[in-house]
Every structure is written in structure tokens, then in C-alpha cells.
Structure 1
Amino acid sequence: MRNTLIAMLALASVAAVAQDRKPHGRHSFTTDTLMVHDPVMAVEDGVYHVFSTGNGLQHATSADRRTWTVHAEPVLDSIPRWTHDSVPGFRRHVWAPDVIRYRGRWWMAYSCSTFGKRTSAIGLASSTTLAVGARWRDEGPLVCSREGRDNWNAIDPNFVIDENGRPWLAYGSFWGGIQLVGLDSTMHVAAGARPQTIARRTTTGRANPIEAPFIFRHGDYFYLFVSWDYCCRGMESTYRVAVGRSKTVAGPYLDKDGRDMRDGGGTLVFEGDKREFEAAGHSAAYRFGDSDIFICHGYSIPRGGASILVQRPMAWTEDGWPKIF
């Protein structure tokens, strides 16, 4: 997530100043239409958990992925002090998390940034459980970017485990595009590891509308989903999802026509249908039981551009490309 409306951010910043773990006037509630930005999903003990952008990160749970309880308690009961030192102007409005189970523990990566800036940080937290009210332990920063130093933006993290059981982190938004870096067994950047670019729209200039990577392993391939164009503008949003694949997690990721995603390649796989959704993006993909699903947020036309959770079955063509229904 990068282009959140200035007005929305301003309101969120004001509200966040006084927010504690149980904000005044806010209560858990149940809904069949989950309002989210940048959703990710995990399941534990038969309960589905969706984590998404919000003050301290929003958390919703469901037993059936149809009816959701949105919980008043933010995921992060306190925002680590280092985030404010690393990202001037950042308060509590945390963006675009990812969550994964690795070596018997849950790991949460989250984005700290401000509108239109690439002085950003990806934080790391861990917990033994996803249960509501779980205390997430601060594990410090994963990756930080700086204006004038880095030509990439440290937001929109995604964990992926390679065929050898090694964890990696994909991330990035606009500027230099999507980055990938190897992690160690503590889920921090491995000693000597350096980010490498795995996808971008253009090789020159700031107008490089690509972000929100998610890498999903299926069969012999790793599939890199990315979001093109612009989010967070309601009915003016132009978000859409493209994909490429590679036999190794480090790439190169090629689209159906053999174009390298580092050179602007990517096969469009999901976008707004102009009936139910104006635009859709910031996607994730999962295997739950025997089924693969695709999720993202979509800008609902019947709801005037409100951003809601989209869930779709995902199948595979004979030549091994995802098909989303």
C-alpha cells in the first residue's frame, strides 16, 4: 500500500494519537462484508484470521470465511519506539502485513511509512498463537529504506519459504520495484544478503506503479503476484494483479509470453470487472485443505468505492498458470 488518500491518512493520524489497546467507542462486531485494505490470511485450529492495514493492524476472524468478527483490539498493542525513530511522521497507522508459520512460531511483518515517502521500515513481530489478544513480541526492524540512499521502498512485505526450507522476504513499492532478500533462521536478513530486484514496470523514473508482491509455490514453480497501477482512490482506483513464475525463488520470473518481470513483464490475472469492483489488488494466495484460493481487496461499485475483502477459487491451466474465478 502506498497511495492512501491524504485526507484518510490525516484523519487516521489524529485518531491514532490517543488510541490505546481498547479505543473509546470501538467494539468488536460481526459482518458478512469485511472492509479491509491489504489483507492476508492464515488458519489456526480451524479459525481463519485476516490481518490488514489499520491502527495497530486490523484483525478479523471466521470459522467459515463468510461471516467475520472484526475485533476491537489491534494486533500490535503498542507500537515499538524504534519505528518512530526510523520513520519520521509515522504514528500508529500500520500498513500491509504478512504472516507465516515457521519453526513452530508465527511471524508477522508489517509496514511503517508515510504518504508518498520512501523513508520506510518493515517491522517484525512473533507470537506462539494467532488468537485474539495474543501478545506479539517485537523482533525489531527487518528492512529500512531511506530517501536519497535507496531506490526502493521498504513496505508491502511477503514471506516465502524455498524448496530447501529457507525463508525469504519479498517487498517493495514503486521506485526501483519489487525486491527479494534472503533471511536466516531467526527471520532476519541473513548475514551478507543484499536485496535484488525481481520485478518492475520501468527501468527509469519514479513512475513505476508496481507493488504488493506475494510469492506462492505450486508444483515446480514459484508464482510472483504483483499489483499494478494505483490503489486507495475509491472509484478512481486502477489496481490490477499480474503474475509471473520461476523454478527458483530468486527468479527470474517470466510471464506467459516469456517476458522477464524485471523488464516490465507480467501476465494480467485479476482486475475490476466494472460491475462488482472498479479495481482490485494487493493480493495473496493460499492452499487451505485441498483447495487454492486467491484473496485481495476490491473497490466495491455498489458501495461507492469502499474497499472490501475479495475471495476467489484459484485453479490451474494445463500449462500451469493460475486461473481465478
Structure 2
Amino acid sequence: MKRLSIAAVLAAALLTLLSPFPATAQAAAPPDPRPITGQQIIHDPTVIRLRSGGYAAYSTGGVIGARLSKDGRHWDDAGNAFAEPPSWWYEYNDTGDPWAPDISYRAGRYWLYYAVSSWGTNHSAIGVATSRTGLPGTWTDHGKVLTSGTTDSWNAIDPALVEADGRLWMSFGSYWTGIRMVELNPATGRATPDPTVHHLATRPDAPYAVEGPYIVRHGRHYYLFASYDACCAGVESTYRIKVGRATTITGPYVDSAGTPMLEGGGDLLLEGHGRYVGTGGQSVFRDRGRDWLAYHYYDAEDEGTPKLGLNRLVWTENGWPEVV
């Protein structure tokens, strides 16, 4: 009996080692962000590798807050994109407070899109500025790109640019039925008068808490990343990042199960874990052939302070993104 018991134990152990799906296997925890030093405080980051070398990050806060880094690991506070708010910003709030910028490089210039609005209203506008260097203090503002009003069913905030088949597009949106898209004039960077407003993603439950879109192309697909649930509440924030994809820029975007993002679909890409609460406000940037996800999280070990999260973005054999 003793010999049989030992043999049975050894056989069971061998089967466990050989099995591709052990009975005790658990889903891997979300990865922590890359360790960084210096000025870590940020909200709604947009990051770019500058053509002159190093990195720039712009964000909600200040007059579009700026951070600079030589290596992507140590970040320094670099003031603001603007010395003071352009006067037209005050049409949308009393403090001239801009939100959620997006930086890109096109046609020999850096383009900085941003939103101005007030909490809880869709009386909002998206503006644009340009710079030859992309550095803070060098931006020239060019005014409004797109606006929304209280009679609209969408909200003109959280802009993000993407080029597709030689045309320029801007995704945007927050609550008010979710994520939208318009085509821009590549010469001016603005929307045409009365543009067609495409609908990309929403959810079936009011108040339709999906915002902060960002679209990238990989292979033959366009991938829509968006933030779901609640931001801006410190450690009580429930932000998480979901993704879907489409073969055409205007959709339909679907998740890996085929559920349209217009019907509440979307694969979970990253959610809060441990000290890293409320991951969202994301953007994607490319650096020397690699894709990176930039986002903010609320640090549960630092009274919910919003900080910069950076993770490599890799692609599975089936063409879906994963953070590592």
C-alpha cells in the first residue's frame, strides 16, 4: 500500500507539471508601471519622443502642464505649454483651465490638441496649437477646432489625432453617449463646418461613462483604446482601459468576442491593482520601433496623488494588444 501511494503521488505530480492548464492556475495580475523618478505627478498624459532627442509629456493641469525627460525614466517639471491661457478659453470656464491634451508630429510641426470645458457640462471646445520644437513656451495657439453645446448628444473634449489612408481624423468624447470622430482638414488641423460626427463607442447604461479615446494602427486594424468608469476621485477612482478594433477608421470597433463597442463591448487592457488605482487617461506613443502605453494612476500609497504610468505595449499572435 505504501509503494502504491508513493507511485500515485508521483504520477499526480507529473501530470500537474505536464498539464498546460493546471487546476490551480490563476490569471496573471496586471503589470506594474515602469519605475520612474523625478516629477511623477501628472493627469491625462500625452507623450512623444522629440525629433531633437528626449521626451516631452503634456497633461491636464496648469496651462497644459509639461514634463521633459532625456531617457524616459527620469522626468523634470518643465512648466507649461503656454505662459497664460488664450483669452477664448474663458468662454468655457472661469479659470481658463485646459484638459486632456494630445501631441503629434506632422508636416514639419508638432500639433497640440486640447479641450476646454467645465465639469458636468458639454458646453465644450477643442483647440489646437503648433510648435517647431514641441517644447513648452514655443506653442502658437490657433483657436477652436470643434465645439459642442448643450443641445448636442456628444461632448467635444479628450481629442486624439490619427491618420488613415492619407486623411486626418480626430476621435474625442466623454459621457454624452461616448466616443465620436470627425475628419479634419490636414492643412488647417480643424474640422470642416457641420462635419459628419461618427459614433465609435458607448455603453448601454447611463451616464455612458466612457471617454478619453486614442486610436492607433497595427497591421490591418485600427485599435480604439478608451477609459471606462470614473476618474478624478483619488483612491475612489474606478478608471480602467478597454480596447476594440476595426478594419476601417470609422468602425465598427469590436472586441475579441465580436461584441461592438457601440453595444458595450471592449476587452479589458489594464485596470487598477495594488497601489495603482484608477488606471486611465491613456495615450499611445512609438519609441524606436516599440509601442508604449502612457496613462495616469492614483497612488494609494501617496494619498491618491495622480502619477505617470508607462508600460510597454506588445501584440499577440492574434493581433491584440497587451501591457507588459
Mapped contact 2:81–2:135 kept (Cα < 8 A) = no
CA distance in structure 1 between the aligned counterparts of 2:90 and 2:196, rounded to whole angstroms: 25
Alignment-mate amino acid for residue 170 of structure 1? S
AA at the equivalent of 1:222: Y
Report the equivalent of 1:220: 220
Quote the offset at 1:216 in angstroms: 1.0
Aligned length: 287
Deviations 1:225-264 (A, max 9, x none): 0000000101100000000001111111110110111111
Q: Tell me how far apart the structure 2 counterparts of residues 55 and 32 of structure 1 sit (CA, whole Å).
A: 18
Q: Distance in 2 between matches of 1:245 and 1:286?
A: 17
Mapping 1:136-215, distance limit 5 Å: 136-147=139-150, 149-162=151-164, 164-185=165-186, 186-190=188-192, 193-202=195-204, 205=206, 207-215=207-215
**Where in structure 2 are there 5+ consecutive unaligned residues?**
1-35
Distance in structure 2 (CA, Å) of the matches to 1:178 and 1:315: 24
In structure 1, the residue matched to 2:42 is 36
Tell me, in whole angstroms, the C-alpha distance in 2 between the residues paired with 1:193 and 1:114.
23
Name the residue aligned to 2:54.
Answer: 47
Q: Find the residue that maps to 2:110 and give its secondary structure.
A: strand
Mapped contact 2:46–2:102 kept (Cα < 8 A): yes
Q: Which amino acid aligns with 2:212?
A: A
Distance in 2, matches of 1:159 and 1:80, equals 22
Secondary structure of the 2:99 match is strand
Secondary structure in structure 1 of the residue aligned to 2:147: strand
Whether 1:79 and 2:78 are equivalent positions in the alignment is no
Q: Alpha carbon RMSD of aligned pairs, Å?
A: 1.5
1:258-280, CA deviations, whole angstroms, 9 ceiling, x for partnerless residues?
0111111111110011x131221
The SS at the match of 2:262 is helix
Q: Cα distance, 1:192 vs. partner?
A: 5.5
Asked if 2 retains the 8 angstrom alpha-carbon contact of 1:211 and 1:226, the reply is yes
* TM-score, structure 1 normalization: 0.85
Deviation at 1:133, TM superposition (A): 2.5
**Contact 1:40/1:284 (CA < 8 Å) preserved in 2?**
yes
Q: Which of structure 1's runs of 4+ aligned residues deviate more than 6 A?
A: none
The residue number in structure 2 matching 1:261 is 261
Q: Partner letter of residue 308 of structure 1?
A: K
Q: CA deviation at 1:77?
A: 2.3
CA contact (8 A) 1:90 1:112 kept: no
Preserved contact between residue 161 and residue 167 of structure 1 (Cα < 8 Å): yes
Q: Does 1:238 align with 2:244?
A: no
Indicate if the aligned counterparts of 1:254 and 1:266 stay in contact, CA closer than 8 A. yes
Residue equivalent to 2:123? 119
- What displacement does 1:78 show? 3.0
Checking the alignment, whether the CA contact within 8 Å between 1:216 and 1:222 is kept in structure 2 is yes
Higher gyration radius (CA):
2
- The separation in 1 between residues aligned to 2:170 and 2:277, in whole angstroms, is 30
Which residue number corresponds to residue 292 of structure 2?
293
Q: Which amino acid aligns with 2:323?
A: I
CA distance in 2 between partners of 1:102 and 1:91 (Å): 31
Q: Can you list the C-alpha shifts for 1:167-192, whole angstroms capped at 9, x where unaligned?
A: 10100000121010001122111356
Deviations 1:127-146 (CA, angstroms, capped at 9, x unpaired): 11112321x22211011111
What SS does structure 1 have at the residue aligned with 2:90? helix
Question: Are the aligned partners of 1:59 and 1:71 in contact in 2 as well (CA < 8 Å)?
Answer: yes
